[in-house]
Amino acid sequence: MKNTVATFQKAKQDGKRISMLTAYDYSTAKLEDEAGIHGILVGDSLGNVVLGYEDTISVTMEDMIHHGAAVARGAKSALVVIDMPFMSYQSGVYDALCNAGRLMKEGRANAVKLEGGQEVVPQIKAIVQAGIPVMGHLGLTPQSVNAFGGYKVQGKDTETAQKLLEDAKAVAEAGAFAVVLECVPAALAEKITKAVPIPTIGIGAGAGCDGQILVYQDMLGMFSDYTPKFVKRFADIGGAMKEAFQAYIAEVASGTFPAEEHGYGISSDVIEKLY
Ligand code: KIV
């Protein structure tokens, strides 16, 4: 059965934890979906882990639509959320509405995600009014890395912690169905989780959130440029891939691959008649 925003809401009411992972392609989305994940985020982390940029700033609407549509084709049960990339909503309500619409129509998203608190309330309200579910994103919001001056834990003093709590309430009141809390002290994330009626999805925000999300390459050891403290490695698929690549290279070099069973036969008569 397809997970919907109602499934997320019910999970919070029932005290059941929500699991989410990122995906950027059909095969990975299908594997996560078959494993039983509740939601898949086509994150603009695409810029880092798939496209090799140093941040998410250069990610475009076309990138998100292209990868989002592939994920949507692979996700039969999981709720598919597609990130609104940098400058697709900050520039105003009209842009936000048009771009959210494109992610739904062309990317086949079930919901969109955007970063920010009180400053994006008009955009959230307009998108929700158009019938498009919105997931908020607070704390370390990577699209603001230049304003933050780096990737740092957010909300560590009273003033910034209070602002995060108010932002979470504002995002919920604007109509968001859930909110990601990234790199927020665990006790603050727990307080926010208790204060808002919508599910909080944590990444580096402790166990007190209603759900968790990780970038799948991080949890599988497939991305080695940097590893945030909050990542737990659930398998070393990156290591297994490297070993398999090395075995392939060695077999090609030695001539042991391909073997006879990997090729196609032809009658010797045909070969003999060639001149
Ligand atoms: O882009 C992304 O992958 C995200 C998650 C880290 C929440 O926004």
pLDDT digits (tens, 9 = 90+) for 147-205: 999 999 999 999 999 999 999 999 999 999 999 999 999 999 999 999 999 999 999 99
CA of 224 to the centre of ligand 1 (A): 17
CA of 138 to the centre of ligand 1 (A): 11
Q: Say what the pLDDT of residue 127 is.
A: 98
Residues 223 and 104 in one domain: yes
Token pair of 237 as six digits = 């698929």
**Residue 83 in contact with ligand 1 by CB distance below 6 A:** yes
Query: What is the average pLDDT score of the chain?
Result: 98
CA of 121 to the centre of ligand 1 (A): 20
pLDDT digits (tens, 9 = 90+) for 237-268: 999 999 999 999 999 999 999 999 999 999 99
Q: How far is CA 124 from the centre of its chain?
A: 19
**Residue 136 in contact with ligand 1 by CB distance below 6 A:** no
Ligand 1 pocket mutation pick from 50, 83, 145, 219 by most atoms within 8 angstroms of CB = 83
| Ligand 1 atom nearest to CA at 45 | 1
Residues 31 and 74 in one domain: yes
Residues 10 and 141 in one domain: yes
Residues 103 and 202 in one domain: yes
pLDDT digits (tens, 9 = 90+) for 133-143: 999 999 999 99
- Nearest of 210, 215, 77 to residue 142 by alpha carbon: 215
Residues 95 and 166 in one domain: yes
Residues 200 and 146 in one domain: yes
Q: Say what the pLDDT of residue 240 is.
A: 98
- Domain span holding position 80: 5-235
Contacts 24+ apart (CB under 8 A), 98-107: 99/61, 100/127, 100/130, 100/132, 100/134, 101/130, 101/132, 102/61, 102/65, 103/61, 103/64, 103/65, 103/68, 104/132, 106/65, 106/69, 107/42, 107/64, 107/65, 107/68, 107/69, 107/72, 107/82
Residues 229 and 261 in one domain: no
- Nearest of 128, 112, 21 to residue 75 by alpha carbon: 21
- Domain of residue 19, CATH code: 3.20.20.60
**Residue 44 in contact with ligand 1 by CB distance below 6 A:** yes
Q: Domain count of the chain?
A: 2
CA of 22 to the centre of ligand 1 (A): 7
Token pair of 253 as six digits = 């070099």
* Residue 76: half-sphere exposure toward Cβ, Cα within 13 Å: 7
Q: Say what the pLDDT of residue 194 is.
A: 98
> In the chain, pLDDT over 70 holds for what percent of residues?
100
Q: Is 182 a catalytic residue?
A: yes
**Residue 202 in contact with ligand 1 by CB distance below 6 A:** no
Q: How far is CA 156 from the centre of its chain?
A: 25
In this prediction, residues 91-119 reach a mean pLDDT of 98
How many Å apart are CA 200 and CA 67, to the nearest integer?
25
| Residue bearing the CA closest to ligand 1, atom 5 | 43
Residues 125 and 254 in one domain: no
pTM of the prediction?
Answer: 0.97
Residues 149 and 248 in one domain: no
**Residue 99 in contact with ligand 1 by CB distance below 6 A:** no
Residues 82 and 49 in one domain: yes
Residues 146 and 248 in one domain: no
| Ligand 1 atom nearest to CA at 113 | 8
CA of 157 to the centre of ligand 1 (A): 24
Residues 266 and 141 in one domain: no
How many C-beta atoms lie closer than 10 Å to residue 161's C-beta?
Answer: 18
Tokens 């494109």 locate to 102
In this prediction, residues 54-61 reach a mean pLDDT of 98
Options 182, 243, 260, 272, the catalytic residue: 182
DSSP 64-86: HHHHHHHHHHH-SSSEEEEEPPT
Are the CB atoms for 38 and 78 separated by under 8 Å? Answer: yes
